[in-house]
Structure 1
Amino acid sequence: MPHPAPDRAEVAVVGAGPAGLAAAVTAADAGLDVLLLDAADAPGGQYYRAPAPGLGATRPEALHHGWGTFTALTARLDRHRTTGRVRHLTGHQVWAVTRTGEDWTLHAVTGPDGGEGAAPRARRLVLATGAVERQLPFPGWTLPGVVGAAGAQAMLKSGLVLPGRRVVVAGSGPLLQAVALSLARAGARVPALVEAAGYGAYARAPLTLAANPDRLAEGARHRAGLARHGVRLLTHRAVTAVHGTERVEGVTVSRIDRDWRPVPGSGRRIDCDALAVGHGLVPQLDLALGLGCATRTGTDGSAFLEVDAQLRTTVPGVWAAGETGGIGGVRLSLAEGELAALSVIADARGARARARAGVLRRRRRRMRGFAGLMGAVHRPGPAWTAWLAPDTEVCRCEEVTAGTVRAAVAELGAGDTRTAKLLTRAGMGWCQGRTCGFAVRALAGPPSADATSDALPDAGPDRRPLACPVPLSTLARAARCEGE
């Protein structure tokens, strides 16, 4: 049976968050034919999540910063969709990208159960796939009532629901202040914001702070808002245990040293019915790694894509914008989305907006400087694994405990993540290591100095042929289409 010819465009943008939206509308403004693919049903990504229409929210802007910027972007998107300049493919989860002649073929699953497929093509590709939340396990973290900090914010933005009535917010990173303030404004009691790092470290980079006064002002507004709502800020502390039977009833907060090792005898209990916890964000690189794009390690310890001043990756014809190049926030994502689009326009049309691109590059350098500082300040300390008890689950999908991983290292010779995975199944579950990968790497450790050539050392972030779960029927259909 002949396969219908796929859609084709001059440029495809994967991800409709801030970076992807900015890239798509900027490219369309210049007359390029754009495909915008996103797994969600509406644009905005994780940052600009909006309540479902059926909830009848009258002021969604109350849950967001910069809502006017988002509405302006979506208005431009709507105009381009009306003219056909942008084809916005919602509900399209791209699981792989392959080369087809001079085009990129984007393999996507669609439909309510992911059983349908699509394979549009584009001459150029912009990856704006965003980030995922980093979690560090600790005793009790699998108890009902424990949610990700970003997940708690997503629940509030999209569902107008709170994870609990008395919520402790914990972890590390500037996102925590925004989450705690959002929950408090929505009616939750937030007895404490528990930050594993400290904010005093920012003062060691006065020039970077002076170059980013908007971030200083934002931090001051958050601190003032937290004070108004009675949220106690506890720095250099971490939640090291969760208590409860059927769900969260309280948490133990311990003081930690500079390496994040709990100080004996410092634990104090705080009663709560929910815990929103997260230790920053990490770039989502599955598609880029599958294409062979090179990465570097950021100041926060996570991998990010290597790009040049034009946001071109090391793979010709592929650009990247936003959190894929390192976690930096919404303003940076918007600037990089536009800058990537200007580079694509120059490649496609030969026309260069030199003045605007120069402004964006300077803005990007300034904000990337702050992002590097932010990553260094909130990077997890090397001794955080001291929080783990032997029976603490590290890989929730496969129910692999910290004791099991440690035994694989000490007794079976696992000296790297891949070997630990083979011996324990940690990382082989539904999330494919996206949640537990950081913890397993910390427990397994780097390859030993005397590793043989047969060893499987850590080689940076995992490279997978599939970026998300894909039905076998979809794989078979893709294979038939490629053979025709």
Structure 2
Amino acid sequence: MADVLVIGAGPAGLAAARAARTQGALVTLLDAADDVGGQYWRHLPDNRSSERERVLHHGWAAFTELRRALDRDDHCRVLRSAQVWAIEETDAARRKEAPPAQQASEGELRRTTVHILVGPADGAARERLTLKPDAIVVATGAHDRTLPFPGWELPGVFTAGAAQALAKGERVAVGERVVVAGAGPFLLPVAASLVQTGSAVVGVYEASRSRTLASGWLPRPWLLARAGKKGVELAGYVVRQVRHRIPYRTGTAVVRAHGTDRVTAVTIASVDEQWRPVRGTERRVAADAVCVSHAFTPRLELALAAGCELDDAGFVAVDADQRTSVRDVYAAGEITGIGGVELALAEGTIAGHCAAGGSATDDVLRRPLRARSIYQEFAQRMHAAHSVRPGWTGWLTDDTVVCRCEEVNCGALRAAAAATESSSLRSLKLSTRAGLGICQGRICGRTVEKLLADAGPHGRLRDDARFDRRPIAFPLRLGELATDDQ
């Protein structure tokens, strides 16, 4: 009986755990949060649950059924508040490119080692676990990518994901007059969640222009029609926008936040097709909160620690079985590409089934394979319509803070790259301290990489360093690291 570890208990992880159990594997499912569900099914804790919980969630019945089935399964161990802090990559015998005979002989003797701490994130006595599973499914998801603008460090500026998490998980309104801005369909459910907590959303501002949106979404519409669930969701959000009289503007971005102790207003400006601000179109809008999301950044720390290779777009590369470049390590959900919950569920089902010894050619996977194909095509359209364009750097000023932890501004980054003529991210991080603060570049990393690349002598960074690559994936105490346990 295979022993499968699933890291991450969002939609992809839950689906992977269920599929692996259906295939007969012993499963350990873990997540760093207090409960399963991930960012998508973030909800109130059981001790203060709501009778109307389903109102804030799509697919709530599917989630509750998944959670109930896994919690009641004696062969599925669910670990909450469990943080993987390191994965030890073994030698080349674990990689797919190794000769099959070598894989069989050495791979059976050596397994990837996963180090876990279980307990509250700020606890001083967390339980330490070391697991050596037969297979791993990495389903760690993604978080918002917010492009900086002058004033974005002010209190009252939130990522759209954080605002939605507060609305869903705590029923907290982030403000009375709220601006929602950035790019992508995610802005619409965020606005809906804010309205349900009592906030007045003064506008939703999409940076991509109408022509760009049309060129991404409209070609071959019969293919888009296959993703019927998405159309139903969109219709629901549009109805709410109209009912609450929330303006929706395309080709528009927040280019500055104003205030001293907190946000009091924002400057909105039209942007061209490359997201360059159009001079003379600026207007000021009063607001006490701003929720911004321009894209999503995959949580790659653990996949990279396991030795997984990335594709050209910066996501974990997988084959038809959702297998990564490392033998017996699979990946599913947003770390393989941003595509929504339906794609995550399909990929998770395929990954869990194959991790437990199955194959993508098995009859039982016909429906998830078809769903994966449909929603991958949907994801490609979404990327074409809403992906980040390079002109956004035009709204930055030299004193715009880029790394908020270390208070490094845009001018300092560009000056360091120009003065040192270095194209090494490692060197420039040490020179500027950008990305060396408490978040370790999770918020600013992609931005720092782009600004340094643009300002350097070669127009790109020339080493293999990236903010996601770290031997210790998440902060822990020295006392937790310095133990005799091996």
TM-score by length of 2: 0.90
Q: Once the 2 structures are TM-superposed, how far is the Cα of residue 467 of structure 1 from its aligned partner? A: 1.2
Deviations along 1:379-408, one digit per CA (max 9) or x if unpaired, are 111111111111111001111000100111
Letter in 1 for 2:40: Y
The residue number in structure 2 matching 1:471 is 477
2:25 equivalent to 1:32: yes
From 379, 382, 407, give the equivalent of 2:415. Answer: 407
Q: What are the residue-to-residue correspondences of 1:145-160 with 2, within 5 Å?
A: 145-160=156-171
Q: Distance in 2 between matches of 1:450 and 1:212?
A: 39
1:421 and 1:428 in contact (8 A); partners too? yes
The residue that corresponds to 1:4 in the other structure is none
What residue number does 2:311 align with?
296
Structure-1 residue corresponding to 2:381: 373
Question: Partner amino acid for 2:82?
Answer: H
SS in 2 for 1:249: strand
Deviation at 1:153, TM superposition (A): 0.4
Give the stretch that moved more between structures: 457-466 or 375-384. Answer: 457-466
- After TM superposition, the structure 1 = structure 2 runs for residues 359-370 of structure 1, keeping only pairs within 5 Å, are 359-370=367-378
Q: Cα distance, 1:227 vs. partner?
A: 1.1
| Structure 1 unmatched runs, 5+ | 1-7
1:200 aligns with 214
State the 1:105 CA deviation: 2.2
Within 5 Å, which residues of 2 pair with 1:44-59? 44-59=37-52
Instruction: Report the AA paired with residue 386 of structure 2.
Output: H
1:51 and 1:475 map into 2 onto residues whose CA distance is 33
Alignment of 1:271-290 (within 5 A): 271-290=286-305
2: CA distance between counterparts of 1:474 and 1:234?
Answer: 50
Asked whether 1:138 is paired with 2:149, we answer: yes
Cα deviation, residue 474, structure 1: 2.1
Give the distance between the partners of 1:322 and 1:114, measured in 2 at CA. 29
In structure 2, distance between residues paired with 1:346 and 1:255? 53
Q: Distance in 1 between matches of 2:223 and 2:422?
A: 41
Query: What is the aligned counterpart of 2:67 among 71, 74, 78?
Result: 74
Q: Distance in 2 between matches of 1:408 and 1:43?
A: 43
The change in CA–CA distance for 1:448 and 1:389 in structure 2 (over 3 A counts) is closer
Does the aligned pair in 2 maintain the 1:94–1:107 contact within 8 Å? yes
CA contact (8 A) 1:135 1:435 kept: yes
Partner of 1:434: 442
State the Cα distance separating 1:137 from its structure 2 match. 0.5
The within-5 A match list for 1:384-403 is: 384-403=392-411
The count of residues paired between Structure 1 and Structure 2 equals: 460
Aligned residue for 1:36, secondary structure, equals strand
SS at match of 1:11: strand
Native 8 Å contact 1:114 1:471 kept in 2:
no
CA distance in structure 1 between the aligned counterparts of 2:440 and 2:331, rounded to whole angstroms: 23
Structure 2 counterparts to residues 29-428 of structure 1, below 5 A: 29-80=22-73, 84-98=74-88, 101-112=109-120, 113-115=122-124, 116=126, 117-198=128-209, 199-201=213-215, 202-298=217-313, 303-347=314-358, 354-428=362-436
AA at the equivalent of 2:149: F
Deviation at 1:60, TM superposition (A): 1.1
Q: Which runs of 5+ in 2 are unaligned?
A: 91-108
Deviations 1:127-146 (A, max 9, x none): 01111110110011011111
Q: Distance in 2 between matches of 1:56 and 1:131?
A: 26
**Which residue does the alignment assign to 2:94?**
none
The one-character-per-residue Cα deviations of 1:191-228 (angstroms, maximum 9, x if unpaired) are 10011114323123535423323323322321222111
Relative to structure 1, the CA distance from residue 124 to residue 114 in structure 2 (aligned partners, 3 Å threshold; closer, same or farther) is farther
Using the alignment, how far apart are the partners of 2:465 and 2:112 within structure 1? 26
SS of 2:200's equivalent? coil
One-letter amino acid of the structure 1 residue matched with residue 88 of structure 2: T
How far apart, CA to CA, are the structure 1 residues paired with 2:435 and 2:223?
Answer: 38
Letter in 1 for 2:181: A
Residues 205 and 266 (structure 1), Cα distance of their counterparts in 2 relative to 1, 3 Å cut: farther
Q: Distance in 2 between matches of 1:208 and 1:267?
A: 38
User: Residues 267 and 158 (structure 1 numbering): CA distance in 2 closer, same or farther, change over 3 Å?
Assistant: same
- Comparing 23-32 with 123-132, greater Cα deviation is found at 23-32
Mapped to 2, the partners of 1:368 and 1:424 lie a distance apart of: 39
Where 1:297 maps in the other structure, the secondary structure is coil
Once the two structures are TM-superposed, the CA of residue 99 in structure 1 deviates from its matched residue by: 5.4
Taking the aligned partners of 1:459 and 1:106, their CA distance within structure 2 comes to 23
Does 2:485 correspond to 1:481? yes
What's the secondary structure of 2:12's corresponding residue?
Answer: helix
When the two chains are superposed, the root-mean-square deviation of aligned CA atoms in Å is 2.1
CA distance in 2, matches of 1:442, 1:449: 12
The structural deviation recorded for 1:353 is: 7.6
State the one-letter code of the partner of 1:439.
T
Paired residues of 1:342 and 1:353 also in contact (CA < 8 A): no
Q: Please report the TM-score for the alignment, with normalisation by the length of structure 1.
A: 0.90
Cα drift, residue 332 of structure 1: 0.9
* Helix, strand or coil at the partner of 1:103: coil
Following TM superposition, by how much is the alpha carbon of 1:103 offset from its aligned partner in structure 2, in angstroms? Answer: 2.7
The alpha-carbon distance between structure 1 residues 270 and 216, as it changes in their structure 2 partners (threshold 3 A), is same
Q: CA deviation at 1:376?
A: 2.3
C-alpha deviation, 1:439, in angstroms? 1.1
Offset at residue 440 of structure 1 (A): 0.9
Identical positions, percent = 44
Q: Secondary structure at the match of 2:318?
A: coil
